Structures are given as C-alpha cells and as structure tokens.
Amino acid sequence: MRVIPVRGSTERSGHRFDPSRLATVRVVANQDVGPAVKKLSYARRWDFVPGQSIALTMDPAVPPRFYSVASGTGDELVDVLYDVVADGLLTPQLARLQPGDTLYASAPFGAFQDAKGPSCWIATGTGIAPFISMARSAALAGKTLLHGSRTIGGLFERSFFQDAMGEAYVPCCTR
C-alpha cells in the first residue's frame, strides 16, 4: 500500500490555486445533508481530476476558502460539502445561498489523487468529499473505505458507498 501526500512531488509549478482566476458561477442547489453540513452545487465549467480542490468566495477581494470537489468527472454539476461554522468567515454566507445566486470559484487544482491499484481510503466528516469524487469517477476494484463519524447521520453518501463498494465499505461510528 502506498501513502499519498496531499501535496506531493507530483504537484507541478502553476498547479496550485491562482487567485486571479476566479470566475462567477451560479448556484444550482444548496442542500442540507447533515447537522450543520450542506452540499453546494453549481454547473461545471472545468474538467478536473478526482481529488482536486476548488477555491470559493463571495467577494473576489476576500481570500477564498478551499474545498474538495465531491463530484464525478462525468457529472454535470460540481458538488462541494461544507460544515457551516457559525462564526466562520465564509460558510454562514454560503449557507444562505439559493439557486440562481452567484459566487466566485476557481478552476480545480491540487495533486491529491488515488494510487493505481489497491488502496485504503480513510475519511471522516466532509473529508469524504475527494473519495466521493474518486468513487463516482473510477472503478472501485481493490479499494477499501474506512468512513468514520460520531453518528450514522455523519456518514455522508453512506448509501452510495454501500451500494458501490459492498463489504469494502466500512462505516465506523463512535456513538
């Protein structure tokens, strides 16, 4: 089994986020998926590699926050999972967005990618997003997912993973 660093030697110069390249996108949906967790969706403008991130902001003059793409490469929408942090700088604003509202997004960037061959994916909370993208984009042969949460409600996309991975999906709850 190979350990994959989030920012490894495969990341090329210019591959990281460029704040001058934010584009306006329109919200298609902003759904509750768990306690204080939402899934924001907008029409896809760029191709991406599963595991990549995007930058989002409500105002291009305000530094954006980074989120993993939770969509498959064949999906028409870009999905982003986020925790609504009551005193956060961005997520309370994101939580108020309605279909048709605008925000600023970057093109996908980053080099967090799955290894070819057998892999053990481990995630909790909204950290499941890059694995949702990987699972929706590629064959799951040889993959095992350890998915942790305090409660069953925090196992985002649990039904999808159970159906897609069978016994290779291992949900773990502490309460």
Q: What is d(CA 161, CA 171) in angstroms, rounded to the nearest whole number? A: 9
Q: Which residue, among 21, 28, 32, 7, has the nearest Cα to 57 in the 3D structure?
A: 21
What pLDDT is recorded for position 14? Answer: 45
Q: Which residue, among 113, 116, 118, 112, has the nearest Cα to 168 in the 3D structure?
A: 118
**CA-CA-CA-CA torsion sign (134, 109, 155, 150):** positive
Model confidence at 152: pLDDT above 50? yes
- Residues 148-156, mean pLDDT to the nearest whole number: 93
Please say whether the beta carbons of 31 and 38 come within 8 A.
yes
CATH numeric code, 21-105: 2.40.30.10
C-alpha angle 79-164-139 in degrees, rounded to nearest 5: 80
What pLDDT is recorded for position 138? Answer: 80
Please report how the helices 129-137 and 158-165 are oriented relative to each other, as an axis angle in degrees rounded to 10: 40
Q: Give the E-state strand segments of 76-166 in sequence order.
A: 77-83, 102-105, 119-124, 143-149
Model confidence at 15: pLDDT above 80? no
Give the tokens for residue 78. 């870009």
Domain-wise residue ranges, the chain: 21-105, 119-173
Q: What is d(CA 108, CA 95) in angstroms, rounded to the nearest whole number? A: 21
In this prediction, residue 52 has a pLDDT band, given cuts at 50, 70 and 90, of very high
